């Protein structure tokens, strides 16, 4: 409970109420009885009075700081024999620092205070009471002076009003003078005299008012100074009165001393500030510092014991005292802090930590520290991706730009603009045949080309993207045949990207299938027109109307229904409708007005690429503009080289190829990725520079992705437990098959079993592949690729499994079966029977034996059981023994009695039931 009156507060302080009332009156709080209310301000006033009465400083003031310093110097003096001796001179100094407001009062008081007895305390209490009365009288005087000041202010306001009235009268007089300009001269003269008299009176009044205002301002300043002095005296702590100290004899001055004279005491310093001027107390509010004294000494009288100029701030210098002290410079020479420099940092796709730190002009450790704050543990040579590097740059206060300043690929844009003014000539349309697997795409092309390509493909399905050009009576057409199997999605997307027109082949007896929908999506994404060929119309189950309705549902509307896509019924077997299909294709090409420059450096697209053992890297290229000639320097992605040989689709050597012509070229440094853009360069040096730049960029991006994948896999493994890996090395004949097979196999990965592609490349299986398989314990898969003799021998010696495939179905199915075998089997329970315990027999050596009756099914020795008591599972375990009469039996069927014991469990009762079951392991599949 809070003490709200004098009696409660006295009880809380454990003192009589009369004594408390006396103390309150001494403190200036007028309370007459113990029931008077006490506020917090009254209590604070009492506390402040008691503190002052006992000589304590008001709360919040700084205490004294006393520093003692000892200086030791050496002087050399000759003795009686003439030899010089070194004499140690020690000077001890004691210095007390106090607030500047206290310095003036402390000048006349010595350091030590005498012992205070009781009489002295009573005298001081009386003095304090007299001082309180004096303060009360001074406060009354102060209030009177403030009242006088208020009166002066009021008089000043009245004078100001009078001055204002005079000004208004003057203005009115001027206006009336203008209105009455036609009055007589006599009246005008009289009025002017009156105006002059009024002006003179107004000026006299204004002068008197300004004099009174100045007097009032001087009085106000005097009162304010007096108030400030009174407040300073009230706030000043009460100190003990000290006896005056006898003055030191002047004879003991600097004359004849062996050390330098002592400095003035802090109290002897002049204080020009007013008592009321108080500022925040920092180092500036403390009297002189050691450094200031050293500076004063350096320019003053040199004494024998004084330190040498610049010697460590007044303290004795050591053996190396003549050396320049850097700490002195840091303390004395203050440098203005400089503004932080914000840099523009251009961040490429990948950058190492060291390079990033160099660009920001900071130490690499600062960048590593910032990355650790962001949760990434990195080393100085680690490669960062562009996004991470830009985040770090922004965090460190700089401006990040996603750019590459020294990108040699900028030369390609400038080079391409030089040939934009070449003459544009009509070119043949590039037509891609797309559709679901086994819908007859390749057979349709066979009939058009009068060749047998489909019979040459393994399994009767297309697994490569083929490029052919066909001469028709109405002109030339270039065909791209894409695979229809789901694994070849990337190939189909590439075919749609390079094409002008898409022929969508749909079987009349099968309708729209998943890959048909995907082909429609690729064509729409590429923005190319569709020509629908409904194949197999010669079959008995053909239903064209159903196919049309299904295509309309996929937003492919025939022209006869008001759409844009022509529908042509064809038969690749009989040739029906083939001419009408070609007519529609050429009609669409005329509408598109396809043109390309011929007399210009060639540009094109890599349709397919492979590694031939005799010829090296071979790329199938579709020339889209310009003319490609033998001997040209070409750049395809990171691969570059001079065209050594050029073949058409029939394997014949040709010297040049114009727009829309597919060719095979040799002479590249490596197998390019399918889908890369091909262009002819002016010289080989520029092609090599750009190719090497792209290789480094690809390698850095790959490393950055691998680093991120490792971290992600680590966290996944921590969360999910151990994941089984199936390591593989994949070698294929062409680039497109490699990406299709790798993509299909990686789709088989689950949370328990994962396909790990250690290495995938184009070409035959070599010894290095086998050595890699030995090190990584991987299986080698050859898709239309074979191992040479040395690789086979090494594989047999090391037990490496090499599997050959030429149909993608077989490869995917076998890997799927192998991964299914790696899955942990699924455990299933199979209920066998239900047993009721009718009697319990306790045998000392055996334990509890249950006499049971088989209610349902059977009981088998070694089976698992659950003990049920009131239909609640009490225990789960195994049977230990099973007997029928005295014989051990393997099983007991329903309707028979038996005796059994449970393994390591004896807490059985009559009426309990045993549920008998077996756990079977079932193989899982993906």
Q: Which residue has 């520079």 as its token pair?
A: 689
pLDDT score recorded for residue 402: 84
Give CA separation, 571 vs 508, 515, 578, 857, 892, in Å.
Answer: 10, 20, 8, 64, 70
pLDDT of residue 729: 92
pLDDT digits (tens, 9 = 90+) for 327-383: 444 444 556 666 778 888 988 888 899 999 999 999 999 999 999 998 888 999 998
DSSP string, 762-789: ES-B-HHHHHHHHHHT-EEEEES--B-H
Rg of the chain over Cα atoms, rounded to whole angstroms, equals 54
What is the pLDDT confidence band of residue 61, given thresholds at 50, 70 and 90? low
Tokens of 431: 């037509």
Helix (H) or strand (E) holding 694: helix 684-720
Range of 14-23, 235-244, 366-375, 476-485 with top mean pLDDT: 366-375
Q: For residue 129, give every residue at least 6 positions away whose Cβ sits within 8 Å of its Cβ, in sequence order, or none.
A: 26
The reported pLDDT for the residue numbered 175 is 75
CA distances from 278 to 274, 436, 563, 830, 872 (A): 9, 93, 92, 94, 86
- Contact (CB, 8 A) for 633 and 615: no
**Model confidence over 74-116: pLDDT tens digits?**
888 777 777 778 888 888 888 777 665 544 454 545 544 445 5
CA 741/CA 719 separation, integer angstroms: 30
CA nearest 610: which of 759, 738, 470, 510?
A: 738
Q: Report residue 96 as tokens.
A: 């007390």
Which of 806, 794, 787, 793 has the alpha carbon at shortest distance from 613? 787
**In this structure, how many other beta carbons lie within 10 angstroms of the beta carbon of residue 722?**
7
Q: Annotated binding residue at 537?
A: yes
Residue in 705, 709, 762, 765 with CA at minimum distance from that of residue 739: 762
Q: At residue 639, does pLDDT exceed 50?
A: yes
Long-range contacts made by residues 682-688, C-beta under 8 angstroms, separation at least 24? 682/415, 682/633, 683/633, 684/633, 684/640, 684/642, 686/408, 686/411, 687/633, 687/634, 687/635, 687/640, 687/641, 688/640
Residue 221 is predicted with a pLDDT of 84
Q: How many whole angstroms from its chain centre is CA 522?
A: 36
145 belongs to an annotated ligand binding site: no
Range of weakest confidence among 39-48, 132-141, 494-503: 494-503
Q: Determine which of 110-124, 161-175, 433-447 has the lowest per-residue pLDDT on average.
A: 110-124
Residue 876 or residue 751, greater confidence: 876
94 labeled part of a ligand binding site:
no
In angstroms, what CA-CA distances link 318 with 73, 85, 311, 350?
11, 19, 9, 56
* Residue 765 neighbours by CB distance under 10 Å: 24
Percent of the chain surpassing pLDDT 90: 12
Q: What is the mean pLDDT of residues 800-819?
A: 87
At residue 408, the pLDDT reads 60
Average pLDDT, the chain: 78
pLDDT at 485 over 80: no
| Residue 389: per-residue pLDDT | 92
Q: Which helix (H) or strand (E) holds 867?
A: strand 864-869
Q: Helical H runs in 361-399?
A: 364-373, 386-395
**What's the pLDDT score for residue 117?**
64
Pairing of strands 595-597, 891-893: unpaired
Beta strands in 403-465 (DSSP E): 424-426, 430-435
Percentage of the chain beyond pLDDT 70 is 76
- Residue 26 assigned to a binding site: no
Return the H-helix or E-strand segment holding 96: strand 84-97
Q: How much is the pLDDT for 804?
A: 92
- Whole-Å CA distances, 58 to 48, 100, 279, 671: 7, 16, 17, 89
**Bridge partner list, 865:** 877, 916
Q: Which of 215, 217, 121, 209 is nearest to 165 (CA)?
A: 209
Which string of DSSP letters, residue by residue, matches 543-577?
A: -HHHHHHHHHHTT--BGGGT-SB-EEE--TTT-TT
307 has pLDDT over 50: no
Report the number of secondary-structure helices (H) and strands (E) in the chain: 22, 34
Question: Which among 756, 813, 800, 803 is positioned nearest to 783, based on CA atoms?
Answer: 803
Q: For residue 14, is it left (φ>0), alpha (ψ between -120 and 50) or beta?
A: left
785 within 8 A of 764, measured Cβ to Cβ: yes
Supply φ then ψ for residue 283, to 5 degrees.
-65, -25
Q: Give the range among 182-191, 485-494, 530-539 with minimum mean pLDDT.
A: 485-494
Distance CA 375, CA 497 (A): 41
* pLDDT for position 712: 57
Rounded Cα distance between 924 and 926, Å, is: 7
In whole angstroms, how far apart are CA 99 and each of 67, 103, 108, 267? 15, 7, 16, 10
pLDDT of 392 over the 90 cut:
yes
Q: Is 441 annotated as a binding residue?
A: yes
- Residue 276: predicted pLDDT: 43
Confidence band of 730 (pLDDT split at 50, 70, 90): very high
DSSP 11: H
Output the CA angle 563-567-571, nearest 5 degrees: 175
Q: Residues near 134 by Cβ (< 8 Å), separated by ≥ 6?
A: none
Q: Tell me the mean pLDDT in the region 631-649.
A: 89
481 is in an annotated binding site: yes
pLDDT at position 113, please? 47
List 506's β-bridge partners, or say none. Answer: 534
Does residue 483 have a known ligand-binding role? yes
* Interior/surface letters 336-364, b for 16+ CB within 10 angstroms, e for the rest: eeeeeeeeebbbbbbbbbebbbebbeeeb
135: Cα within 13 Å, side-chain hemisphere: 17
pLDDT of 678-717, one tens digit each? 999 888 888 888 888 888 777 777 677 666 555 555 555 5
First to last CA, the chain: 77
**Residues in Cβ contact with 750 at an 8 Å cutoff, skipping those fewer than 6 apart:** 819, 926
**Most confidently modeled of 159-173, 179-193, 741-755, 778-792?**
778-792
Residues in the chain: 926
Residue 563, marked binder: no
Q: Which of the 8 DSSP states describes residue 275?
A: T
| Residue 796 in this model has a pLDDT that exceeds 80 | yes
Q: Is 246 annotated as a binding residue?
A: no
Q: Which segment of 464-473, 501-510, 917-926 scores lowest on mean pLDDT?
A: 464-473
- The answer to the question of whether 435 is labelled as a binding residue is yes
CB atoms within 10 A of CB 464: 20
**What is the SS3 assignment for 90?**
strand
Per residue in 249-259, pLDDT (tens digit) is 444 444 444 44
Q: What is the pLDDT of residue 834?
A: 93
438 is in an annotated binding site: yes
Token pair listed for 370: 């910032």
User: Does 442 show up as a binding residue in the annotation?
Assistant: yes
Tens digit of each residue's pLDDT (9 = 90 or more) over 815-848? 888 888 878 788 888 889 999 999 998 888 888 8
Task: For residue 440, say whether it is annotated as part of any ligand binding site.
Answer: yes
Q: How many whole angstroms separate alpha carbon 353 and alpha carbon 245?
A: 73
Place of tokens 């004879």: 251
E strands, 98-136, are: none
Contact 674, 622 (CB under 8 A): no
Task: Please list the alpha-helical segments (H only) found in 236-352.
Answer: 290-299, 326-332
pLDDT on residue 706: 63
Q: Quick one: pLDDT at residue 913? A: 92
Q: Are 907 and 890 in contact (CB under 8 A)?
A: no
601: which DSSP letter? B
Instruction: Tell me how far apart the alpha carbons of residues 909 and 920 are, in angstroms, rounded to a whole number.
Output: 30
């Amino acid at each position: 409970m809070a003490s709200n009156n004098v009696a409660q507060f006295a009880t809380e302080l454990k003192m009589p109420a009369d004594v408390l009332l006396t103390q309150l009156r001494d403190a200036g709080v007028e309370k007459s009885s113990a029931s008077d209310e006490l506020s917090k301000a009254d209590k604070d006033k009492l506390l402040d009075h008691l503190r002052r009465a006992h000589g304590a400083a008001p709360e919040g003031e700084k205490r004294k700081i006393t520093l003692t310093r000892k200086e030791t110097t050496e002087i050399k003096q000759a003795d009686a024999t003439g030899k010089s001796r070194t004499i140690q001179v020690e000077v001890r100094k004691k210095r007390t620092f106090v607030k500047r407001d206290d310095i003036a009062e402390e000048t006349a008081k010595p350091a030590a205070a005498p012992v205070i007895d009781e009489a002295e305390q009573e005298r001081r209490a009386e003095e304090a009471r007299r001082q309180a009365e004096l303060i009360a009288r001074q406060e009354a005087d102060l209030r009177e002076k403030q009242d006088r000041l208020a009166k002066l202010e009021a008089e000043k306001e009245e004078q100001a009003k009078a001055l204002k009235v005079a000004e208004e009268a003057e203005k009115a007089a001027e206006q009336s003078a203008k209105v009455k300009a036609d009055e007589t001269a006599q009246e005008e003269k009289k009025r002017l005299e009156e105006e002059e008299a009024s002006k003179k009176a107004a000026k006299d009044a204004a002068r008197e008012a300004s004099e009174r205002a100045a007097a009032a301002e001087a009085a106000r300043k005097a009162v304010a100074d007096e108030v400030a002095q009174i407040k300073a005296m009230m706030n000043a702590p009460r100190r003990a009165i000290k006896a005056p100290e006898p003055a030191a004899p002047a004879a003991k001055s600097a004359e004849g001393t062996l050390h330098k004279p002592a400095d003035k005491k802090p109290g002897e310093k002049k204080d020009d500030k007013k008592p009321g001027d108080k500022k925040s107390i920092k180092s500036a509010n403390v009297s002189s510092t050691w450094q200031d004294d050293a500076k004063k000494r350096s320019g003053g009288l040199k004494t024998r014991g004084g330190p040498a100029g610049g010697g460590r701030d007044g303290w004795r210098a050591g053996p190396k005292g003549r050396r320049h002290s850097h700490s002195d410079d840091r303390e004395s020479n203050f440098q203005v802090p400089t503004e932080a420099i914000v840099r523009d940092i251009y961040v490429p796709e990948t950058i190492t930590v060291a390079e990033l730190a160099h660009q920001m002009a900071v130490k690499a450790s600062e960048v590593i520290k910032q990355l650790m704050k962001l949760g990434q543990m990195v080393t100085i040579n680690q490669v960062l991706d562009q996004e991470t590097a830009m985040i770090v740059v922004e965090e460190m206060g700089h401006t990040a730009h996603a750019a590459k300043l020294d990108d040699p690929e900028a030369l390609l844009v400038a080079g391409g603009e030089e040939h934009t003014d070449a003459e544009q000539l009509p070119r043949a349309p590039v037509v891609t045949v797309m559709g679901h697997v086994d819908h007859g795409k390749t057979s349709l092309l066979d009939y058009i080309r009068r060749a047998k390509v489909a019979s040459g493909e393994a399994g009767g399905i297309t697994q490569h993207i083929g490029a052919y050009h066909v001469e028709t009576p109405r002109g030339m057409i270039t065909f791209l045949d894409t695979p229809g199997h789901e694994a070849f999605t990337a190939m189909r997307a590439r075919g749609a990207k390079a094409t002008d027109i898409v022929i969508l082949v749909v079987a009349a007896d099968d309708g729209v299938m998943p890959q048909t929908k995907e082909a429609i999506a690729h064509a729409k994404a590429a923005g190319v027109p569709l020509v629908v060929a409904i194949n197999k119309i010669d079959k008995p189950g053909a239903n064209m109307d159903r196919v049309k309705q299904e295509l309309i549902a996929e937003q492919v509307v025939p022209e006869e229904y008001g759409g844009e896509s022509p529908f042509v019924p064809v038969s690749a077997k009989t040739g029906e409708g083939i001419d009408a299909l070609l007519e529609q294709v050429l009609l669409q090409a005329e509408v598109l007005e396809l043109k390309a420059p011929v007399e210009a450096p060639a540009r094109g697209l890599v349709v397919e690429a492979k590694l031939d053992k005799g010829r090296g890297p071979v790329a199938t290229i579709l020339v889209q503009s310009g003319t490609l000639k033998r001997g040209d320097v070409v750049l395809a992605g990171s691969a570059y080289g001079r065209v050594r040989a050029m073949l058409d689709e029939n394997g014949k050597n040709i010297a040049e190829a114009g727009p829309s012509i597919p060719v095979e070229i040799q002479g590249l440094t490596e197998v390019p990725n399918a889908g890369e853009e091909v262009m002819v360069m002016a010289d080989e040096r520029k092609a090599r520079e750009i190719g090497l730049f792209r290789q480094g960029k690809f390698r850095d991006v790959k490393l950055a992705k691998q680093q991120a994948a490792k971290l992600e896999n680590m966290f996944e493994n921590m969360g999910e437990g151990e994941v089984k890996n199936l390591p593989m090395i994949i070698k294929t004949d062409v680039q497109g098959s490699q990406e299709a097979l790798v993509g299909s196999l990686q789709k088989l990965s689950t949370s328990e079993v994962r396909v790990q592609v250690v290495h995938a490349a184009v070409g035959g299986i070599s010894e290095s592949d086998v050595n890699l398989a030995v090190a990584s314990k991987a299986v080698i898969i050859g898709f239309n690729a074979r191992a040479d003799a040395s690789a086979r021998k090494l594989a047999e010696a090391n037990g490496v499994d090499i599997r050959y495939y030429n149909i993608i179905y077989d490869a995917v199915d076998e890997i799927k079966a192998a991964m299914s075998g790696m899955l942990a089997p699924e455990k299933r329970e199979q209920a066998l029977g239900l047993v009721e315990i009718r009697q319990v027999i306790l045998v000392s050596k055996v334990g509890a034996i249950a006499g049971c009756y088989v209610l349902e099914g059977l009981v088998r020795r070694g089976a698992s059981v659950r003990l049920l008591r009131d239909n609640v599972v009490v225990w789960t375990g195994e049977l230990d023994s099973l007997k029928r009469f005295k014989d051990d039996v393997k099983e007991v069927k329903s309707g028979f009695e038996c005796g059994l014991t449970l393994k390591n469990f004896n807490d059985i009762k009559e009426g309990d039931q045993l549920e008998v079951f077996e756990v079977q392991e079932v193989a899982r599949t993906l």
